[in-house]
Amino acid sequence: MARASWRERVAAERAQRVADSRTRVRRTVGHRDGARCEVLDASGTPRSLLNFCGNDYLGLSQHFAVVGALQDAAAREGAGGLGSHLVCGHHGLHDALERELADWLGAPRALLFGSGFLANLAVVQALLGDDDACVQDRLNHASLIDAARLAGCKLRRYPHADPEGAVRQLRSLPDGVAMLVTDGVFSMDGDVAPLRDLALVARVQNALLYIDDAHGVGVRGPDGRGSVAAAQLTTEQVPLQLATLGKALGGYGAAVLGDDDLIGHLAETARPYLYTTALPPAQAAASLAAVRLARSEHWRREKLDALVARFRERALHAGLELLPSDTPIQPVMCGDDARALAMAQRLEHDGYWVAPIRPPTVPDGRARLRVTLSALHGARDIDGLVDALARARDHDHDEAPARVAATG
């Protein structure tokens, strides 16, 4: 029997993505200046767009103190990490950052990773095996799903934000270590997990609760300490949580924080920690400066909250379909994949960069424009975006009959 052709498979899957309006195109940013990006079009011509699709929630990625810390440390320590943490790569700046993060988030200990994706792979694979189980929210980030699959454990998913569904899944599983895993703030819907209820479920079912709070740390809770702190939960109730350095803190990398014994176990056994190069010390210095700003400059969260409220009020008044989110992630629902693409293109024509999100990132029929807000934005930026969104919706409605005739 002839072996299947990889070329034919790649071509067939590409053709299917084209037919479903699900192709992905990488855009090149030539320069960033505050909330504006110089984006190159297909011909290489730069165009200035107001960015509403990044995750720089507190506007720290270009802050002079953060950039200055990066430059100073690079001048002293060089550009790279040069080794894994357990060989020769663990620098004093890494140690300082771990201590600062642990103090800020109220955890006994923190452990740095190269990315949130790596951190999630590390946690699940280091703690679960073939005889164990991982119960997850259906809308969890892809890294959490992949982590459970690669760990070889039993993966069960409960309906979104449904603690009773989590109970049913945990009760149905045999003996073995069980982990209950959820995003704190969901990256595509922008809503917040029912963490207090899930903490109760984990306690009753003797499961370890792990919270990926990539989109919550810096934005939610007292002093920006995240979703776990906002829910008034302790390390005893949430033994492990993830904080990213690449969103509200404006840098790169991530940290897992929590119970001292668990963090020690990860440091000695987690393959994505043991077998990869440590973050550059200069990047750790930049994140350390960003953490200190996030802890002290409360006005950034206050401004961000005001912008979120302004966007929701004006968007709902304009008749746009929003999801129930009070976070900087504000999805504008489109439903149809082609419609999401058309609206995003219309927005770009008007000078706004908003990402169209389509399956498989979101469920079928749930395509949307993922609007993300930053403390770098102003009130006039919000008003202009809402007006452009309403125009894009109305323009798409006018074009829909012609599009259906052309494709039907």
The residues annotated as belonging to the active site are 187, 215, 247
**SS (HEC) of 17-47:** HHHCCCCCCCCEEEEEECCEEEEECCCCCEE
C-alpha distances in Å from residue 93, one per residue of 13, 256, 259, 287, 339 = 45, 17, 22, 10, 47
How far, in Å, CA of 121 to CA of 119, rounded? Answer: 5
Phi-psi region of 258 (alpha: psi -120 to 50; beta: other; left: phi over 0): left
CA dihedral 227→314→140→171, nearest 10 degrees, is 70
215 in a labelled binding site: yes
Alpha-carbon span 340 to 362, nearest angstrom = 12
Element (H, E) at 225: none
The residue among 270, 217, 205, 204 whose CA lies nearest residue 245 is 217
Residue 172 tokens, joined: 């149905």
Instruction: Give the C-alpha separation, 97 to 251, whole Å.
Output: 13
What CA–CA distances, in Å, run from 208 to 135, 169, 203, 238, 304?
10, 14, 8, 8, 33
Q: At what angle do helices 281-296 and 64-77 cross, to 10 degrees?
A: 150
**Tokens found for residue 315:** 């968007």
Q: Is 117 annotated as ligand-binding?
A: yes
What are the CA-CA distances from residue 89 to residues 85, 273, 280 (Å)? 4, 11, 9
Q: Which residue has the tokens 């703030």?
A: 185
Is 361 a known ligand-binding residue?
A: yes
DSSP secondary structure code for residue 278 in this structure = P
Owner of token pair 């306690």: 203
Residue 116 among known ligand-binding residues:
yes
Q: Would you list which residues are annotated within the binding site for substrate?
A: 24, 141, 361
Q: Residue ranges for the binding site?
A: 24, 116-117, 141, 187, 215, 244, 361
Binding-site residues for pyridoxal 5'-phosphate sit at: 116-117, 187, 215, 244
